[in-house]
Chain A
Amino acid sequence: MFLFRFKRTIELGVKSLWMHRLRSTLTTLGIIFGVSSVIAMLAIGEGASRDAQEKIAQLGSHNIIIKTVKPPEEQTAGGQQQTLQEYGLTYADAERFRNAIPDVQVIVPNRRVSQQAQYRIHRIAVEVVGTVPWYTEISQVRVKFGRFLSSTDMHYKQGVCVIEERLVKELFGFDNPLGQDVKIASDYYRVVGITTEQARTQVAGSFEEKDATGAKKSGANLGGIYIPLTTVRDRFGEMSLQITSGTRNIEKVELQEIIVKVRNIDQVLGTRQSVQTLMNRFHKKNDYEITVPLELMRRAKEFQRIFTIVLGSIAAISLLVGGIGIMNIMLATVSERTREIGIRRALGAKKRDIIFQFLSETLILTLFGGILGIILGSSIPFMVTHFSQMRTVISVASLLLAFGISAGVGITFGLYPAYRAANMDPIESLRHE
């Protein structure tokens, strides 16, 4: 019996909405756009934040990264003559960290040099990273073929290298790189391993590849070749000569970065303090910079929260407008159907029957709009990704949210017209023309 009533009400609702097709469609548009904008905006926001968080996560949440930066005052005071600039992180710094900071798991000193790498006729720009065997512990870099650098390599300052997977094709074509010799600067290095970046390959999609090619064009983010730190120190030295607008600058930099990994994630911030204190004591010049991925991640999350709130409220306003449109139409419908309401009341309909009838009509309208909105809303992010190469993530939660919102809008904005319909005086409404 209840099922019959329910079925009838839905049928009647669909029927009367169908009778005013144009009106129903126009009304639904408000909800469609509202819902789809909620989904699209959340997807874009979520995509942006995941992107940021993944980039930060690649840096390692347990890590504290201390980087060499060129002190600003020296750049201006350089003068016209040949100068020697000595700045940046030193081996002594790394040693001090090891001795003074208790919670450290590993310390990785790195030296980075931009160089040309050559194999037969292929010649490409690479970043040579002088590092230590335990580099893999602080980064997402994993060995895919062969092996990573070993302590024997370090000790004997071997001429070996490990190359990143993405360089393989450019440098070696179809040759197997393992065991081949690559010429970097004036020396040859034997390839002992190929690495891949774990996180990257996981989150990749077609889009990620595009990103890689785009980055290559701009010249940033060169592929890396890992060589034992001792070998780099031995063969490349610590001096570098720069000739800019007639001035010759010689720079002496020992290490480009030191990465400190702590054992436990809640030791990160404390350790950062110790590092800061140590660095302050031994570096008079402001020639370093400390980055804590964990802090960045927290900031990114906070930013994401604000971003979501802003986008969400914009979308909510559009839904509100849609809802008001629906209420408007329902009020018009109610006054148009005054007589029908009177007839139904005379024939035994209770107030709640009338409320149910009109409310279900609004709900049909908004839920239909909600479903169309979800379809449209989930296709917008794909287009955004396709045309602007922005990453977007549609979460199930956002779909449910949008659907819930459209149902909520239906109930909220349908209740008043339905209530008005139910409270009309049956005698008056029967007399209504």
Chain B
Amino acid sequence: MIQKVDNAVNFETDTHILVMEKLCKSYQLGSVELRVLREIDLAITSGEYVAIMGPSGSGKSTLLNLIGCLDRPTSGDYILGGQSVSMLDDDELSMIRGRRIGFVFQSFNLINQLNIVENIQVPMYYQSFTEHESAERARELATLVGLGDRMKHRPSELSGGQQQRVAIARALANDPLIILADEPTGNLDSASGAEILAILNNLHDQGKTLIAVTHDEGIAEGAERIIRLLDGRIQRQEYNKR
């Protein structure tokens, strides 16, 4: 069952970009085993917009970390883009994160010493881009999220909404399979939040696969599918009609 497949995704035979089979994650706290995720079965197709919701403690963040390849499951299998990633080592996981996942965080997580273009360049920096290519692409992306006139600014000189837009541009840098957003509007006022939602919806319309962990019903409404977690299990899945 577990085997390394070639990096390329075969969309003709398998439209599932992400498959989780009986995925479990537990932490050892002293002598107590804390089971955070219990046998998660999940399949997400390319181009889907999925919202993961649930009360705190339901295992949302852990699931997000697993999807983002920041963590390894205790058991079960996780296949991302046709490649099993549950048994990869640290370097290979870093590679997958860089190439296949685009992160958007609640607190933006930009690097303050770098300007906007340089921040967008960071993911490309760890891949095989030349300096010129990456700078070019970073400028394009900055323009795409509407920050073409702020390219030399520092993150601290921008508003929250603008910072999150930079983060989205950064997430797009390596043209990932999945854009993974963790409460993308959580630190924003409603106006900026709406802007971000619009950008996300726009990306979805362009065919990007989006997975968002959120409390925000606004995001949930925009999503095609809502996965509700409770106590480490998928409680139910809802499909929004469009």
A contacts, CB < 8 Å to B: 1, 4-5, 7-8, 12, 15-16, 19, 339-340, 342-353, 426-427, 430
Given A19-B113, A343-B111, A348-B123, are A426 and B70 also a contact pair (CB < 8 Å)?
A: yes
Given A1-B130, A4-B131, are A348 and B98 also a contact pair (CB < 8 Å)?
A: yes
Asked whether any CB of chain A lies closer than 8 Å to the CB of B90, the reply is: yes
Given A15-B113, A353-B126, are A345 and B94 also a contact pair (CB < 8 Å)?
A: yes
Q: How many angstroms between the C-alpha atoms of A426 and B75 in the bound complex? A: 20
Asked whether any CB of chain A lies closer than 8 Å to the CB of B99, the reply is: yes
Given A15-B113, A16-B113, are A350 and B95 also a contact pair (CB < 8 Å)?
A: yes
Asked whether any CB of chain A lies closer than 8 Å to the CB of B202, the reply is: no
CB distance A12 to B90 under 8 Å?
A: no
Q: Which residue of B lies closest to A423 (CB)?
A: B90
Q: Can you list 20 residue pairs at the A/B interface with Cβ under 8 Å?
A: A1-B128, A1-B129, A4-B125, A4-B130, A4-B134, A5-B125, A5-B126, A8-B125, A15-B113, A340-B111, A343-B122, A344-B111, A344-B126, A347-B97, A347-B123, A348-B95, A348-B123, A351-B90, A426-B70, A430-B105
* Secondary structure call for the A interface: helix
Interface size range on B against A = 20 to 34
Max chain B CB contacts within 10 Å: which of A7, A16, A351, A426?
A: A426
Asked whether any CB of chain A lies closer than 8 Å to the CB of B78, the reply is: no
CB distance B71 to A348 under 8 Å?
A: no
CB distance B90 to A350 under 8 Å?
A: yes
CB distance A350 to B123 under 8 Å?
A: no
Residues of B within 8 A of A340 (CB): 111
Asked whether any CB of chain A lies closer than 8 Å to the CB of B68, the reply is: yes
The 9 closest A-B pairs by CB, nearest first: A348-B98, A4-B131, A348-B126, A347-B123, A350-B94, A343-B109, A350-B91, A1-B128, A426-B70
CB distance A349 to B71 under 8 Å?
A: no
CB distance A351 to B131 under 8 Å?
A: no
Residues of B within 8 A of A349 (CB): 94, 98, 126
Q: How many angstroms between the C-alpha atoms of A258 and B100 in the bound complex? A: 91
CB distance A427 to B70 under 8 Å?
A: yes
Residues of A within 8 A of B225 (CB): none
